[in-house]
Copies of this chain bind each other. A is one copy, B any other.
Amino acid sequence: MHEEFLRRAIQLAAENAGQGRGGPFGAVIVMNGEIIAEGANHVTTDLDPTAHAEIVAIRAACRRLGRFDLRGAAIYSSCEPCPMCLGAIYWARLDALYYAAGREDAAQAGFDDRFLYEQFALDEQKRSLPTRRIALPEAAEPFAVWLRHPGRVPY
């Protein structure tokens, strides 16, 4: 079964690249042995740098289920998810991740996935992204508002 779902993700990736709709990445989300959502990379056609296959599939699955989490489901990705997508997989509370190609394959085709993992391993000040924390006295106020709000919905 795992191989079947991964083959579908790879098929989505190849079709997507072949039809010029975006990068060569695909993903499917499976619950109870069935694919409930599919996604392919649409960064350049949707003009959305976050429209990676995994995020497209996660958003579609949540829309379909009417929920903001995907507990009980697994994601199958044609390639190892980049850090953005790995974070999304955690936030979606998916049960498991399966993937086929690796970050080295993506790097050879010109994608930054491996570079991003290297960046994440660095201290903030050593990253290529100029980053500065400015501690303002009011910075903690949103959290106080959150904790005071009786109707807050944790996620």
Q: Which residues of A contact B (CB under 8 A)?
A: 2-3, 6-7, 10, 13-14, 16-18, 20, 22-26, 43-44, 46-50, 52, 55, 58-59, 62-63, 66-70, 78-80, 82-102, 105-106, 108-110, 112, 116, 119-121, 129-136, 138-143, 145-147, 149, 151-155
Distance of A139 from chain B, by nearest CB (Å): 4
Partner of A68, one of B26, B44, B68: B44
Write the chain B residue with the least CB distance to A113: B87
Q: How far is the CA of A43 from the CA of B90 in the complex (A)?
A: 13
Distance of A26 from chain B, by nearest CB (Å): 7
Whether B78 pairs with A142 at a CB distance below 8 angstroms is yes
Whether A49 pairs with B20 at a CB distance below 8 angstroms is no
Which residues of chain B are within 8 angstroms of A110 by Cβ–Cβ distance? 154
Q: How far is the CA of A25 from the CA of B141 in the complex (A)?
A: 11
Other than the known A7-B136, A101-B139, A110-B154, what 14 A-B pairs have Cβ atoms closer than 8 Å?
A10-B141, A20-B152, A44-B153, A46-B68, A47-B66, A52-B91, A83-B86, A84-B90, A84-B91, A86-B120, A97-B129, A99-B131, A108-B143, A120-B120
